[in-house]
């Protein structure tokens, strides 16, 4: 069963393709992340799923139905452009948004109190939204997204602007929701978040999908040809070694892509004695590396193509 099934959707704004021939499947009960650089078409895709804009071509099925008004109360949505009515009181605003989703008043009140307590915002219930900090407003928006206990939760950049404590809180709640059988789709640039919690990913660049599937399988495809090195000293010589295809150097940390058929052991031998090695790990490439490689590839294709 798929919580979301997108088939060949295209959206143009004038001559500009925001999304081109995109298809994807989100299995029910999974966490799915949409990745891609700015302007890739993530938000447009999400807005089409939410029926806020209509695709020019293709079809979208949400929870096995075409998106309709009844469906909207089974879906929770946190938009990228976040905002709340600045003059409304927090409690009232949440009550209004729950009413739009068809939650009974009494039930809504209970849930609002529970969520405000969990986010440590109970004392702000009677305050106006404009008195809240940005981080607090983001929590209120998150509550509004899940208050009606939706089966499908779509979060556009949920972690942007959050401190580590609240990022963990959001991540914990997302996992909790997954364990309750709900499906979560979120878009982000933050690869470490994706690697930790996503089951499936979709990488979009320049309006087109460049990679989709189960995260574990994707990584396997790339094989164990990556070495992660935690070191001290001058490691600039590594780049010119014959085993090395590409490096991504952070100064004390390096991700090395090896040429095919080369043995990581040779690399270790050559490095010993020249630098101090704290950690040497052979593994699949990080999602970050895959992301950069894939986006680089498609961008090259575009610049050559034009």
| Binding track over 149-178 against other proteins, x by CB under 8 A | ------------------------------
Alpha-carbon span 3 to 29, nearest angstrom: 8
Q: Which CB atom, from 26 or from 155, has the smaller least distance to other proteins?
A: 155
Q: Which CB atom, from 73 or from 149, has the smaller least distance to other proteins?
A: 73
- The region that residue 295 occupies, defined by phi over 0 for left and psi between -120 and 50 for alpha, beta otherwise, is alpha
Select the residue interacting with other proteins from 88, 169, 175, 247 (CB under 8 A). 88
Q: Which CB atom, from 14 or from 251, has the smaller least distance to other proteins?
A: 14
Q: Which CB atom, from 31 or from 155, has the smaller least distance to other proteins?
A: 155
What burial letters (b/e) apply to 77-106, b meaning 16+ CB within 10 Å? Answer: bbbeebebeeebbbbebbbebbeebebeee
Block residue for tokens 């029910």: 28
Regarding 52 and contact with other proteins (CB under 8 A), the answer is yes
Instruction: Give the binding range for other proteins (CB under 8 A) out of 45-53, 201-209, 219-227, 284-292.
Output: 45-53
Select the residue interacting with other proteins from 53, 169, 241, 282 (CB under 8 A). 53
Regarding 125 and contact with other proteins (CB under 8 A), the answer is no
Regarding 142 and contact with other proteins (CB under 8 A), the answer is no
Alpha-carbon span 300 to 306, nearest angstrom: 10
Select the residue interacting with other proteins from 75, 185, 215, 256 (CB under 8 A). 75
Block residue for tokens 């990679």: 211
What burial letters (b/e) apply to 64-75, b meaning 16+ CB within 10 Å? Answer: eeebeeebbebb
Q: Which CB atom, from 69 or from 126, has the smaller least distance to other proteins?
A: 69
Select the residue interacting with other proteins from 64, 66, 100, 302 (CB under 8 A). 100
Q: Which CB atom, from 78 or from 267, has the smaller least distance to other proteins?
A: 78
Residue 28 CB, nearest distance to other proteins (Å)?
Answer: 20
Select the residue interacting with other proteins from 32, 77, 124, 170 (CB under 8 A). 77
Regarding 35 and contact with other proteins (CB under 8 A), the answer is no
Select the residue interacting with other proteins from 83, 181, 251, 305 (CB under 8 A). 83
Regarding 47 and contact with other proteins (CB under 8 A), the answer is yes
**# of chain residues touching other proteins (CB under 8 A):** 31
78 in Cβ contact with 154 (< 8 Å): yes
Regarding 126 and contact with other proteins (CB under 8 A), the answer is no
CA angle, 191 then 193 then 197, to 5°: 120
Exposure of 45 by Cβ count < 10 A (0-12 exposed, 13-18 middle, 19+ buried)? buried
Count of CB atoms within 10 A of residue 268's CB?
14
Instruction: Give the binding range for other proteins (CB under 8 A) out of 21-29, 86-94, 268-276, 286-294.
Output: 86-94
Select the residue interacting with other proteins from 101, 111, 139, 182 (CB under 8 A). 101
Instruction: Give the binding range for other proteins (CB under 8 A) out of 95-103, 109-117, 166-174, 255-263.
Output: 95-103
**Residues that bind other proteins in the complex, under the rule CB under 8 A:** 14, 47, 50, 52-54, 56, 69, 72-73, 75-79, 81-88, 96-97, 99-102, 141, 144
């Amino acid at each position: 069963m798929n919580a979301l099934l997108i088939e060949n959707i295209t959206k143009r704004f004038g001559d500009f393709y925001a999304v081109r021939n995109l298809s994807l499947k989100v299995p029910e009960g999974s966490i799915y992340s949409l990745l891609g650089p700015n302007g890739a078409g993530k938000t447009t895709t999400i807005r089409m799923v939410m029926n806020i804009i209509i695709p020019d071509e293709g079809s979208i099925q949400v929870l096995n139905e075409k998106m309709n008004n009844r469906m909207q109360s089974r879906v929770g949505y946190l938009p990228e452009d976040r905002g709340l009515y600045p003059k409304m009181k927090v409690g009232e605003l949440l009550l209004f948004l729950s009413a739009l989703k068809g939650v009974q008043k009494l039930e809504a009140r209970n849930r609002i109190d529970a969520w405000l307590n969990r986010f440590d915002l109970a004392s702000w219930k009677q305050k106006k939204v404009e008195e809240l900090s940005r981080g607090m407003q983001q929590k209120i928006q998150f509550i509004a997204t899940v208050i009606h206990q939706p089966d499908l939760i779509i979060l556009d950049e949920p972690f942007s602007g959050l401190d580590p404590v609240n990022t963990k809180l959001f991540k914990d709640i997302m996992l909790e929701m997954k364990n309750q059988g709900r499906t979560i789709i979120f878009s982000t640039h933050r690869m470490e978040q994706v690697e930790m919690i996503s089951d499936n990913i979709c990488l979009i660049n320049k309006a087109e999908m460049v990679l989709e599937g189960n995260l574990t399988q994707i990584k396997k495809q790339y094989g164990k040809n990556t070495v992660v090195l935690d070191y001290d000293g001058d490691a600039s010589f590594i780049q010119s070694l014959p085993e090395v295809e590409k490096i991504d150097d952070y100064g004390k940390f390096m991700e090395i892509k090896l040429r095919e058929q080369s043995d990581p052991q040779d690399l270790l031998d050559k490095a010993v004695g020249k630098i101090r090695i704290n950690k040497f790990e052979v593994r699949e490439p990080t999602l970050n590396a895959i992301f950069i490689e894939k986006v680089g590839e498609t961008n090259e294709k575009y610049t050559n193509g034009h």
